Structure 1
């Protein structure tokens, strides 16, 4: 029996992809590293006891890491895949965490206006077909002064033969790091260079997973001389904001 997804544009993941999202590699080398990096990109003190929304929570592997990093008073997980939500519920129970789970499309968030302090969107945005609408929804649900924690793989990584072979994505919406940052600015989010990073992690190298560099057969290119495969950004909704 096929899964009834909560988005008409949902792109179903491969079996390998679903397995990978349960793996130690995903939790330790992807999620943990991204959350630690995002935490370090804040220019101001972290919000105290925030309402934190994980948009595209998948199987809930981020919950413990988010709890440790941001100590939310209220943690909400949202996903358009009912099966993933079931796994998120089991993960929250296994970790002894109180998590509110919502079945919703990111382009039509079932979340109140101005109700969220931190919105965590990690490796979710490149799965979304209606990216502009999703970003408008992120802006809407964030409180004035709230933060979008945005962490994404770029087209330079997604559009490689190994990623196309192992995973499934809507290829026509993939963007460069600059393209994603431009979207955030156009929506009205504020951030400076100190709030952006371009991680160059082994698993994100677009051709050989950094093998030649680890063997010292090639020197890594510095920022500005390479096509970025990852971009992380902590973007703030202005205190006095009008939804575009």
Structure 2
């Protein structure tokens, strides 16, 4: 019997699991994404929010989420039992109201319309049941609540170095526009002001930006490159009701 909370869970490599607790992950990936997502709000985020970090990994996001959004309560779940254990350790170390439990993104263990902010960072490209996960995100968010969605796209995941170092379900990878279309089809609302396409050094396909750093190649401008990252702050409409 699988120890994971999802029957379709794709287990990470040993390197990938180590990387998720590295300084690079925490400082150059998580922190940067959370700051960028905060900048994408059209209006101030809810005060004293219930914030859910779904697919929380090892809980390294908790500190940054509390610094930036100051939630009244921070909930977190992950499908991997070891990640849940490490996240719970992180929660105890930080103190405050942080509640961690096992749970599959496609079957979230939370009530309808119970979440103000839902943070899904670099998790979606690991999920096989993506449509079900988005439906669950929509279900648990309150009307007017926000999905904070940050993803790597197929252009980055489908490179030899990422395939070699990490493990992903390749048949579900999507482009930036593909992810945005999925969000709209699920009923989330956002406009161009709420979307960004970061072009960070670690996300440069194939060479991590080394050729550009050594001035051997000019960076492609926005609109002329295939985006490797997409960040979105998407809102559940105020009039939305649970299915």
Corresponding position of 2:65: 66
Q: Hey, what does 1:80 align to over in structure 2?
A: 79
Match of residue 128 from structure 2: 129
Take 1:79 and 1:48, find their aligned partners in 2: how far apart are those partners? Answer: 25
Aligned to 1:101, the other structure's residue is in SS state: strand
Q: 1:223, CA displacement in angstroms?
A: 1.1
Q: How many residues align?
A: 243
Counterpart of 2:97 in structure 1 is: 98
The alignment's TM-score, normalised by the length of structure 2, stands at 0.98
Task: Call closer, same or farther: CA 1:225–1:243 in 2, change over 3 Å.
Answer: farther
**Residue 237 (structure 1) aligns with:** 236
Aligned to 1:223: 222
Runs of 5+ consecutive residues of structure 1 not aligned to the other structure: none
Q: Which 5+ residue runs of structure 2 have no aligned equivalent?
A: none
User: Shift in Å at residue 142 of structure 1?
Assistant: 0.2
Cα deviation code 1:190-233 (max 9, x no counterpart) = 00000000000000001110011111121111111100000000
Which position in structure 2 is the counterpart of 1:13?
12
Aligned to 1:54, the other structure's residue is in SS state strand
Query: How far apart in 2 are the matches of 1:78 and 1:214?
Result: 38
- Whole-angstrom distance in 2 between the partners of 1:83 and 1:226: 38
Alpha-carbon distance between aligned partners in 1 of 2:172 and 2:13, rounded to the nearest angstrom: 19
User: Offset of 1:174 from its aligned partner?
Assistant: 0.2
Q: Does 1:150 align with 2:124?
A: no
> Structure 1 runs of 4+ off > 4 angstroms?
none
Q: Deviations over 1:12-57 (max 9, x none)?
A: 0000000000100000000000000000000011110100000000
- Alpha-carbon distance between aligned partners in 1 of 2:43 and 2:54, rounded to the nearest angstrom: 23
Q: Deviations over 1:41-94 (max 9, x none)?
A: 000111101000000001000000000000000100111111111000111112
Aligned to 1:178: 177
RMSD (CA atoms): 1.1
Q: Is the 8 A contact 2:125 2:173 kept in 1?
A: yes
Q: Is 1:29–2:28 an aligned residue pair?
A: yes
The structural deviation recorded for 1:120 is 0.1
Instruction: Measure, in 1, the Cα distance between the counterparts of 2:4 and 2:101.
Output: 13
Query: Is this contact kept in 1: 2:143–2:241, CA < 8 A?
Result: no
Give the aligned partner of residue 108 of structure 1.
107
